[in-house]
Every structure is written in C-alpha cells, then in structure tokens.
Amino acid sequence: MNFTIISSERKKDLILYNNSKYYKKDYVKYLDAFKWQCIHKKCTAKIYVDQAVKNILKDESTHNVNHHQETESSITKKSFSNGLKRKSEDELERPSKVINRGILTNPELAQTLTGTDINNVYQCLYRSRRSSYPKLPTDIIEVINVISVRQIKTVQDENFILVVDAVNKIICFSTESNLKLLCSVDKIFVDGTFTYCPKYFLQLFTIHIFKNGHYIPLVYFLLPDKCKDTYALSFRYVVEKCSEINLLFTPSKIVSDFEEAIHIGAKTIWPEIQIVGCRFHLTQNWWKHIQSLGLSKEYKDASSEIGNWLKWVFGLPLLNPEEVTDCFTTDLMSVSPDDERIIKFCDYLVEYYIDEDAKFNPRIWASREITSERTKNSCESFHSKLNSQFTKAHPNIFIFTHVLNKKIQTDTYIHINGINIEKNSKNSAFKKKQQSIKNLSNDLNDNKISRFTYLKRVSEYYQK
C-alpha cells in the first residue's frame, strides 16, 4: 500500500497519495472498488481503491487543474491535528496531555512543530469538544430541563441520574450499586466543592463512605445553595431512593466540616445521628481566626510566648470531650498571655467550640482517637482528583456529567469490586504519628505525664 489513510477536519477518512488528498466518492461495480476523488472541486484526478482499502486498482491521479499541493510537512501537521480531534472528543484529558502524548508517539513531529502550530492545535481541540455537545444551557432552569430528559448510563449499564428536582433546583447522581454499598455502613462522610461545580449551581455535595480502608464517593448532588432545608431534602431523597429498592439508609454517624446547616439538615432526617467534626476543618477555622486577629506573626515566632500558647490550643482536639472545658479553663487560661487579641481569641473559642452550649461543642470534635476517618483528607483527595479532570472552573453540565460518569463512577466500580479486601495504609508518617499520640495517651492514663504536658506534646501534630 503506497498511500496513507488520514482524517479530515470533519473527521472523515481521506487518502493521502503523492502529497494529494482524495475523498471517497462512488462504488465502481466493474472494478469492485471505490472511486476516490481529489478534494479540489474542479480537479478530475482520481484513484480506484479496493474495498479493503489496501491497493490502488486503477490510477488516474493526473491533476487537470493547477492547484496548490501541500508540502509533506504541512500534511503531516494537519493529519496530526485532525487525529487528535477525534481523541479529544473520546477522552477526558486536558488538551495539553492529549497533544503531548501525540507528540511522544510521533517523535518526528517535534522537529517540525512550532509554537504557532501547537496553539492552532489547542484551538482546534477546544472547538472540536465544544461542537460535540448540544447547545449549552444559559441558566439553572435550562440545566434542570436538559438533565430531566437525558438518559445517562454507566459502564455497567446502570442509570446514573437519581433525582431531578426542578422546584428546589437539585440534581442527584448515583446508582443502585452505590446505594447498596451506602446502606452497608453506619458512618458517612460529606463534603462540598465549589470551584469545579457546573455553571449555575453553587456546589457539588458528595456522600462518601469508608470501608476496609477504602474511601469511596457514592452519591453526588448539585445544589443551588448551602441552606439547611436543601441539605435535609438531599438526605431525604437518598433515604427515599434506598427505600424504593428495599434498602434502609440510617447512618449513625456523619463526618462533616463545621457548617451548621449540614448538621441541622442531617439531624432533621436522622434525629439520633452523631455529628463528627473533622480535625482538618477545625484547625483550619482556628488558624483563620488567628490570622484575622493579626496573630500569625507571633504564631510563627518560636520564641514568642503568645505563639507558643496559641500552638498549645491545637492539642485540644486530642482530648476526650469531657476533658476539654476543664483543660481550657484550668490549664490554658491560667497561663494565657496578657494580650487583648488573646482575650478575643479565647472568647471566640468559648462561644463557638468550648462551652457546652456552643454551636460546635467538644462532643462534635474532641476525641483521643487518632484515625484518618476524622481528618476527611480522602474527601479532599477526591476533590483534587475531580478538579484535575477539568481545564477551567465551572465546566458546562455536559462536560461535568461526562467526567463524573465516565471517570469518577468508573473508579467507584473498581473500588466496589475490591471493597472486601482490606486496604492497609501505606502512609508511614501517619502511622508513626498515630502511635506517638497513642503512647502519650497511655502515659496520661497511667499518670506518667500531666494533662497539660499531654496537651503540649500532642499539639505538635496539629499546629499550622
């Protein structure tokens, strides 16, 4: 075969022969072959190629029109660009990755491609992706309407759209397989992400589980706000959908950040559920308040009395709930620096976290247990993985659902397949930290160290 099959800009096959391109035209019965015509309208040059597209059976490729013939380099570049267009529509990777992989598989291109060529390929890929989707919705109502009439199937042929609520502007994605696994655990993890939520929605709110060392996202909500009623309705939808397939969804614990609306929403549906606040968000909140009071400089100063005292505060989450108030009052307040900003910080802690009647009292966030389940780091890892799939913030609903279904849900199926195999943590640093805190807790129980000494020592593991 002395010709090459290439792709046109419209994703049709062309034959490249002697630096000229030919498109498929008519079937010629007496040759049992197809006629391929020169792409230039007035040119009569043609070749006849067998149906297997292996051999030229008849060559009439003399051009009767003097049209510009492209150079081999130009043809190679266009062929490269058109080939990537097809891949970019089928794959979800960033165009930069698609281009780089294409160059790696065609190293000779690296010697001829220029910066302008690469930029043209980028623009070509973006246009190609946009054209492969229907007309984009212009507001949240149109998004709801689009999803309500779409059928999205997973790789295991399960329906992926669980709920479309046009009144409350809520969309939920999950599968029956996901719901079955969800109902097999008594603790759930929830978290929201905002930057890469589809346009016109405020957040993607996700329910995860932890089982045998596996963190798995199972239910995804697109929500218009952060209201307690919206969270309650979202949880209710999951309960109802589980009930429809004879499953009971009654978790006993929910691990969340310190967003009161989530806590109220969960309590509305499950009055007896235990709210567990993750330490990552707790210490993040405290650190932000330290910064807002202008104390970050002192905090970072190892020789500062104020800085050392602030660091000790970060040991409070490693106490039992019933120990927190007394430790704060007796140990910390007795040695607190005389500074107006420290007084304001203490007032903030008491009002929101220390007092028994505080919005987030110690029962929510204090525990001597040191487990990865209390950190929600894997929820954050999920967000990082999801975000990496998009080229810009707030993707359109078609790109978003494609990624969520083809990438994230497919990964979920893989995790479900191995859910009964215990996954041991490979994080040696975390294991070392876990053992150190456990040893300190044992020393405190055996009266080998004081509570204040314990506080100072464990605070080192959560300082900012």
pLDDT higher than threshold 70 for residue 58: yes
Distances (CA, A) of 254 to 57, 204, 282, 364, 432: 71, 18, 15, 10, 27
Helix axes 340-349, 279-292, angle to 10 degrees: 150
> pLDDT grade, residue 86 (50/70/90)?
low
pLDDT per position as a tens digit, 417-435: 988 887 776 567 778 888 8
pLDDT top residue among 99 and 301: 301
pTM of the full structure: 0.76
Let me know the angle formed at the C-alpha of 397 by 391 and 403, rounded to the nearest 5 degrees: 55
Radius of gyration of the chain (CA): 31
In whole angstroms, what is the distance from residue 433 CA to residue 319 CA? 16
Q: What is the token pair recorded at 19?
A: 């630096």
Question: Predicted confidence band at 28 (pLDDT cuts at 50, 70, 90)?
Answer: very high
Q: Helix crossing, 115-131 with 95-105: angle to 10°?
A: 120
pLDDT at 89: 54
Give residue 95's pLDDT: 65
Per-residue pLDDT at 256: 94
Pairing relationship of beta strands 170-173 and 46-50 according to DSSP bridges: unpaired
Query: In 29-106, where do the E strands start and end?
Result: 33-38, 46-50, 56-60
Mean pLDDT of the chain: 87
